[in-house]
Amino acid sequence: MIIASTFVYYKFLTPSADIQQYKEYYAPETKQKALNQGEIKVTFLGTSSLLFDDGNPQLLIDGISRPPLLKMLPFSTVKTDADTVNNAFKKIGIDNNKLQRLFISHTHYDHALDLAYIAKQTGTHVYGSESAINIGLGNGINMKQMSVYEVNTAMQFDDFTVTVLQSKHSPTFDEGEKIQEPLKQPAKALDYHEDSSYDFLITHNNKTFFVKPSTNYIEGALDDIQADVLFLGIGVLGAQDQNFQNMYYEQTVRKVQPKLIIPIHWDNFNKPLTDALVALPKFADNTKNGLDFIIQRTKADEIDLQILQGFQSIYF
């Protein structure tokens, strides 16, 4: 574990990459506004964190804290940054009375670190793997406030319908490893094992969204899935070989057939959550290659692609 942790630390030593060269693909700036009847707003909070809000229930995918690089060292620990979470909630209007559901895509720290704090602050119900439940239990969340995913089962929350699908994490050294017992903060970053990874099909009235947090695929898993908007994880895509990149595109974009793609999990999650996110360092991820590939393929397929920055919302 020490060797793995040291590798994780050193691979992030190179400076974060600037994505200003892709400014032409930035989503148009929109002012925060009151939602009209039937309208939905989706806000990007870095990594794969997304808030779905229609003015009544709010649904959140993953947490918000972004521990600094030094916390990745073998002798260091991570914990929820309460100020970061509170400030983000205030800035984007997460309402303790309206946030009804929190979905955890997998239990690495950059996704699951905040689940207990958010559950305590808002009373929201948490959904995730058995490892997510152990994170909640380790930090004082009652089992009644949490549920293990029932994959491929549609769940109705007012005008939202959410279906959780089995997915696969991008290449990583602990793929599938579980958190076997309650995990209390502070804890080492590497104690937050992946367990299983999940995708999310979210329908709101007649609009359908597909959220794919991790850059990998299960062949044929999305054969019957279609969505208007695809939030596509591209972390480490640029570091993979051409065959993987092509298969990933075929098994996600070509299956889902979206009108709009919004890349996620491209930003450096060891940097603060701000309005101007930076990409992961080239040695760790090579975001530029991943974006170049996705842009080339979507342009050929005449699919719109827009890049959201931190706290930026898009209305549907």
Write the pLDDT tens digit of every residue in 11-32.
444 455 678 899 999 999 888 8
pLDDT at 284: 64
- Over residues 258-281, the mean pLDDT reads 94
Write the pLDDT tens digit of every residue in 176-215.
999 999 999 999 999 999 999 999 999 999 999 999 999 9
Q: Dihedrals φ, ψ of 214, to 5°?
A: -105, 145
| Residue type for position 15 | P
Distance CA 215, CA 41 (A): 24
CA atoms within 13 A on the CB side of 57: 16
Q: How confident is the model at residue 1 (pLDDT cuts 50, 70, 90)?
A: very low
Do 35 and 29 form a contact (C-beta atoms < 8 A)?
A: no
* β 160-166/198-204 pair status: antiparallel
Distance CA 183, CA 187 (A): 7
Asked if residue 3 has pLDDT above 90, the reply is: no
Structure tokens at 261: 């793609």
Q: Dihedrals φ, ψ of 162, to 5°?
A: -120, 125
Write the pLDDT tens digit of every residue in 100-109.
999 999 999 9
Contact partners, residue 191, CB within 8 Å, separation at least 6: 179, 183
CA atoms within 13 A on the CB side of 127: 21
Do 238 and 286 form a contact (C-beta atoms < 8 A)?
A: yes
Distance CA 167, CA 263 (A): 17
pLDDT at 16: 55
pLDDT at 262: 98
Do 94 and 58 form a contact (C-beta atoms < 8 A)?
A: yes
Taking the model in full, what pTM does it have?
A: 0.94
Token look-up 């979210």 returns: 202
Domain spanning 2-315, CATH architecture: 4-Layer Sandwich (3.60)
Write the pLDDT tens digit of every residue in 44-76.
999 999 999 999 899 999 999 999 988 888 889
SS3 assignment for the chain:
CHHHHHHHHHCCCCCCECCHHHHHHECCCCCCCCCCCCCCEEEECCCCCEEEECCCCEEEECCCCCCCHHHHCCCCCECCCHHHHHHHHHHHCCCCCCEEEEECCCCCHHHHCCHHHHHHHHCCEEEECHHHHHHHHHCCCCHHHEEECCCCCEEEECCEEEEEEECCCCCCCCCCCCCCCCCCCCECHHHCCCCCCEEEEEEECCEEEEEECCCCCCCCCCCCCCCCEEEEECCCHHHCCHHHHHHHHHHCHHHHCCCEEEEECCECCCCCCCCCCCECCCCCCCHHHHHHHHHHHHHHCCCEECECCCCCEEEC
What whole-number percentage of the chain has pLDDT above 90?
83
Q: Dihedrals φ, ψ of 246, to 5°?
A: -65, -40
| Residue type for position 277 | L
pLDDT at 89: 96
